[in-house]
Structure 1
Amino acid sequence: MLSVPAGASAGGFEFAAHGTRQLGRGGAWAARADDPLALYYNPAMLADLPDSQVLANVHVGFWDACVDRQGTYGSVIPGGTASDNIFDSEGGNPDAWLGDEMPSVCNSGYPQPIPWVLGSIRLLPELGIAFGITAPSGIGNATWGNTGEGRFGTVDTANGLRPSPVRYGLAQQDVLLAHPSIGVGWRPADFIRIGFTFQWGIANVRFMNFTSAGVLGAPEDPFGDIRTELHAFDWFVPAGILSVHVQPHPNFDIMVGGRISDAIGGATAAEGHLDLNTSYFSRDEQWQSTPNRIDGVTLRAGQPWQFQLAMRYADRIRPRSWERGFEAAVQNVVNDSMYSENFDIELDVVYELNSQVGDFVVRLPTGASVIAGGTAVPVPAVQPIPHGWGDVLGIRLGGDWNIIPGQIAARAGFHTEIPLAQSRYQIQDFINGYRFGLHVGATFRIERFDISIAYAHIFQLDTTITDGNFRAVSANSSEGMCAGGGGYDPNNPVVDAGCYPQGYGAVTNNGTYSAEYNVLSVGATYHFE
């Protein structure tokens, strides 16, 4: 009778572009990579950074997203509510609200700041390193419905307070994922560079959703709802980035690279606890809301991998610094792409291997139980939460125009993301769909400082799920259960088997999912030479 909220991961829910200059180009920056964020995009180009630098950038992301679940409340609670709950009227027909259409529920979470703080050092003319902290370009927090004790999992409508139609998927989340990173780039010959970055991920997650106690004949009866809130922390989520960069012509760059990541709860356990409130919406004197806590809970959540090909053409007005020696640099003028080119244009093709994200698996101590109605009720030791994300093909096109070389640069870009498969387990933690974004930005050089600004609007086409398979846990139901039941087999996850190892209730994720992003960014880079 236990479920936990489905989660988020770094990469899967990201929008294009780490960094301010990079956002202004639509994320098409891997082949250019001329500031410390090369550590993330293309560590091979750390070998070509013209000087030592310090960078501080921050995005502020606004995520507008809604889920419109079709039907009335009565269509999922056909037998009426079993007992008194906070949505029932005091007199007359207490279940009159079951005839209401289920309302659209939208994210009301706060704008998300996303920072990067990095530095780079030139050790030798052909060798450079960078280090610092990066974060995913994604929205780590979201709230679906009301907040406040006794109001989580509810929505306000013109007809009064109603249960959130999407509460079994997700009610609230806060995900903090930071990557302390160090990268190195080496140029063994004029035409080739090789680089590698190691990332030490730190994950702190909090998810809240609801599960059903399994009222017979009415699996979504709010009388039996249990609020569940998972807290988990993993201090070590390793990832690696490898890239190779070649220059077949002084004006042309080609880069290939990729990033792979361990799962949250992979190398080390993501440990925490689970808070539960049984009979959360009940007004029945015999079934009062009861808080419970289960310690020793662990989470394992897969992370996407990424592979990339980037090509760039630059109209150069000066040769690259390594071609003519650093001693030729003009005093107090940084010899980089902003100074040495009229304009450039870049095309990146990115394959997001999101299919690495299958089941999130929560494990509880053997023999764990919760108190409901004054009785101890056992809970499953293993709880899979299927995601089954589909792979995504991304295309990024962008470039810079140096209006006054070495002083003012303008940039613009476009990106699109094409989902190659749609998950039957779609919920609102990561709304997958066809996206395209329009990006603009600029950089102003003042002495040794580069001040950059950028803005992006990212459109997303609506996604409608009609054959969903995400189900609310139900103690008295076996819908979606694998033949013969049995325990959970990590080698045969729910997303592959198409069924659950324990009894589950009705499908709760059919509906229309919509989203769009607005992203503002500002950054500064200081050049030491």
Structure 2
Amino acid sequence: MKKKLSLGLATALAFMGPSIARASNVLEFPDNGSEQMARGGAWAARASDPLATYFNPAGLAGQRTALTLQANVSFQHTCFSRIKAANDKTNDYVAPGGSYPRVCNDIGASPNPQLAGVYRINDRVGVGLAILAPSAVGDGKWPTWVGTPDEAKNAQAAPQRYLLIEGHAFQLNPTIGVGAEIMDNLRLGVAFSWGIFKAKLNNAAVVNNIDGGRPRDNDLSATAIASDYFVPSVTFGGIYTVSDQFDIAGTFKWTDSIKASGNLYTQANYFTQKVHDGDKSGIKDTDTSYSDCNQGPAVAGKCEEGQAKIKLSQPMEAKLAFRYHMPRASALQAHLRDPIHTDVFDAEVDFTWANNSAIDALQIRFPGDAAGNGIIPVNGTPGTLPPVADVPRDYKDVFGVRAGGDFNVVPGRFALRGGMFFESNGQNVKYQNIDFVGSARFGLSTGATLRLDVGRGEKKDSLEFMLGFMHVFYQKQQNDDPNGEGIHAPAGTPCNPTENPIPPGGMCGSGKQKYQTNWPINLGSITSALNVINVGATYRF
């Protein structure tokens, strides 16, 4: 399949998200794994199953040899009520300052598997291997069309189309880690992850950067596939057992930027009633996987593979965790990390930080000339691909608190758990988006583990079945001022005729970036809620 990257990539590519499930990352929720999620993410000091390879490798020291297979299934419902900017003169059925119909994503199950194993070298050293994806919803589908207030048959392009129509993200993070109890009661660990990332997205862009254009004539559809097959990450972790009842833990993660590349595919004349009715005969394609951009000899040599370059910084992250647990008097404790067997109950509080302010913009670049103008033509339009299509994000650092614990109803057999978390607002509403909702979040979760002995005699293996559930409440995002600023739609021509470009360079006469509409397209309010179910099984040798 050809790689295709869209002209409208500027906002849609953010759906890809930073690469790895993290502490308080503005684009994710806590956390992958049944125990982890069901405790509200308060797990850094417990770190007692093979997923410690990824979350806190210090917890590998003292675990039994084990293999776990788990999966989150997420259902996220997000709705957008768009307000038309006061200076938006687009010729559609909504007046400047008015409201478009409310649109919501198509709620579907988004599976997210986790596979991990730990090998117990001796009482003090364990090695782990894990393969898992980000703790985020990887799929999203929004309407392409909406009916008009006066005539539902006469479909209109959906109001969120410049942000996102459809997206599918795939990412795996193979991780290898080692944990060692370097001295009594002090465990240290380190893990390396190799992120593999790919995303396919679809949205819309404006053909001519003008006032008063009709969407049926002046919008095009853009589809993208972008990839980066090496996003390295390193995690350091530690657990200090202060006493038989109290542990302190900490983790720190560094992740390299996503540096993806790909090609582009656009379809002009896409948002017409004919296309809505199934007739696509008038569509004009551009495909930069061909040297002639799929347009013929007139543009031979203009295109080549991988001409789109995308960069997205990744935040550093840290956790500080405190865990109290009551040991069972008769259970063996020395060097062993098996809380369902050794504890009566435990309770943990984690404090988290993510340097999300490092994500100031999504950087998107295409070939251009010295004057800051695009050189790759878009078939069926007078426009080109913008050489600079960066989209501001301007996230804030996020601080969070997580609290959760387990109660072993039947020691060594059956445990119930619960938890909650809160994370501060990381979203500057000026740049709010429907791809990820970065507002303040509050979550409640619960779960259970059933352990069965396998085999006979003094040495027994065990098989565990886990179940978890989490509901996440999101603070409503609002950027309701029709005269406010926000994300501007990508456009195929440099500057609106009302402005005078200043060559050379990438700015128009008003100081606005070239190849962007004069008006923002993300004004309004965004609401969201999330439900996550986790099921899994672990075999301990």
Q: Same fold (TM over 0.5)?
A: yes
- Whether the aligned pair in 2 keeps the contact of 1:77 and 1:219 (CA below 8 Å) is no
How far apart, CA to CA, are the structure 2 residues paired with 1:438 and 1:519?
11
Residue 208 of structure 1 is matched in structure 2 by 202
Residue 78 of structure 2 is matched in structure 1 by 65
Q: Give RMSD over aligned pairs.
A: 3.0
- Whether the aligned pair in 1 keeps the contact of 2:210 and 2:496 (CA below 8 Å) is no
Residue 87 of structure 1 is matched in structure 2 by none
- Whether the aligned pair in 1 keeps the contact of 2:44 and 2:251 (CA below 8 Å) is no
Equivalent of residue 138 in structure 1, options 132, 136, 139:
136
Residue 346 of structure 2 is matched in structure 1 by 344
Deviations 1:339-386 (A, max 9, x none): 11111100001112222222222233453211125x6x4322332122
Displacement after TM superposition at 1:157 (Å): 6.0
Equivalent of residue 120 in structure 1, options 118, 121, 128:
118
Residue 235 of structure 1 is matched in structure 2 by 229
- Whether the aligned pair in 1 keeps the contact of 2:250 and 2:320 (CA below 8 Å) is yes
Q: Which amino acid aligns with 2:477?
A: T
- Whether the aligned pair in 2 keeps the contact of 1:216 and 1:476 (CA below 8 Å) is no
How high is the sequence identity, in percent, across the aligned residues? 29
Taking a change above 3 Å as real, the CA distance of residues 242 and 501 of structure 1, as seen in their structure-2 partners, is farther
How far apart, CA to CA, are the structure 2 residues paired with 1:340 and 1:55?
20
Tell me, what secondary structure is at the counterpart of 1:29? coil
Deviations 1:62-119 (A, max 9, x none): 00110111259xx6764736xxxxxxxxxxxxx6999984111111152110110001
Residue 299 of structure 2 is matched in structure 1 by none
Deviations 1:27-48 (A, max 9, x none): 1111000111111221111112
Q: Which 10-residue stretch deviates more, 225-234 or 340-349?
A: 225-234
- Whether the aligned pair in 2 keeps the contact of 1:6 and 1:169 (CA below 8 Å) is no
Mapped pair 1:32 → 2:43: no
Deviations 1:1-56 (A, max 9, x none): 9431242313442111110111111111110001111112211111121x100001
Displacement after TM superposition at 1:201 (Å): 0.3
Displacement after TM superposition at 1:193 (Å): 1.1
Residue 477 of structure 2 is matched in structure 1 by 463
Q: Which amino acid aligns with 1:300?
A: K
Residue 392 of structure 2 is matched in structure 1 by 386
Mapped pair 1:353 → 2:355: yes
Tell me, what secondary structure is at the counterpart of 2:61? helix
- Whether the aligned pair in 2 keeps the contact of 1:77 and 1:220 (CA below 8 Å) is no
Residue 86 of structure 1 is matched in structure 2 by none
Taking a change above 3 Å as real, the CA distance of residues 177 and 187 of structure 1, as seen in their structure-2 partners, is same
The aligned runs of 1:278-427 (5 Å cut-off) are 278-282=268-272, 288-295=282-289, 296=306, 297-318=308-329, 323=334, 336-366=338-368, 367-373=375-381, 377-420=383-426, 422-427=428-433
Q: Which 10-residue stretch deviates more, 293-302 or 121-130?
A: 293-302
Displacement after TM superposition at 1:271 (Å): 2.5
- Structure 1-normalised TM-score? 0.84
Displacement after TM superposition at 1:465 (Å): 1.6
How far apart, CA to CA, are the structure 2 residues paired with 1:439 and 1:479?
54
Displacement after TM superposition at 1:283 (Å): 6.6
How far apart, CA to CA, are the structure 2 residues paired with 1:435 and 1:503?
32
Taking a change above 3 Å as real, the CA distance of residues 167 and 21 of structure 1, as seen in their structure-2 partners, is same
Mapped pair 1:52 → 2:76: no
Q: Which amino acid aligns with 2:192?
A: F
- Whether the aligned pair in 2 keeps the contact of 1:25 and 1:439 (CA below 8 Å) is yes
Q: Which amino acid aligns with 1:363?
A: R
- Whether the aligned pair in 1 keeps the contact of 2:91 and 2:213 (CA below 8 Å) is no
Taking a change above 3 Å as real, the CA distance of residues 242 and 511 of structure 1, as seen in their structure-2 partners, is same
Displacement after TM superposition at 1:278 (Å): 1.5
How far apart, CA to CA, are the structure 1 residues paired with 2:524 and 2:41?
31
Choose between structure 1 and 2: higher strand proportion. 1
How far apart, CA to CA, are the structure 2 residues paired with 1:479 and 1:263?
37
How far apart, CA to CA, are the structure 1 residues paired with 2:351 and 2:314?
20
Displacement after TM superposition at 1:511 (Å): 0.8
Tell me, what secondary structure is at the counterpart of 2:288? strand
Tell me, what secondary structure is at the counterpart of 2:172? strand
- Whether the aligned pair in 2 keeps the contact of 1:391 and 1:421 (CA below 8 Å) is no
How far apart, CA to CA, are the structure 1 residues paired with 2:497 and 2:237?
47
- Whether the aligned pair in 2 keeps the contact of 1:361 and 1:385 (CA below 8 Å) is yes
How far apart, CA to CA, are the structure 2 residues paired with 1:243 and 1:98?
53
- Whether the aligned pair in 2 keeps the contact of 1:168 and 1:209 (CA below 8 Å) is yes
- Whether the aligned pair in 2 keeps the contact of 1:482 and 1:502 (CA below 8 Å) is no
Q: Which 10-residue stretch deviates more, 418-427 or 15-24?
A: 418-427
Displacement after TM superposition at 1:434 (Å): 1.6
Q: Which amino acid aligns with 2:14?
A: G
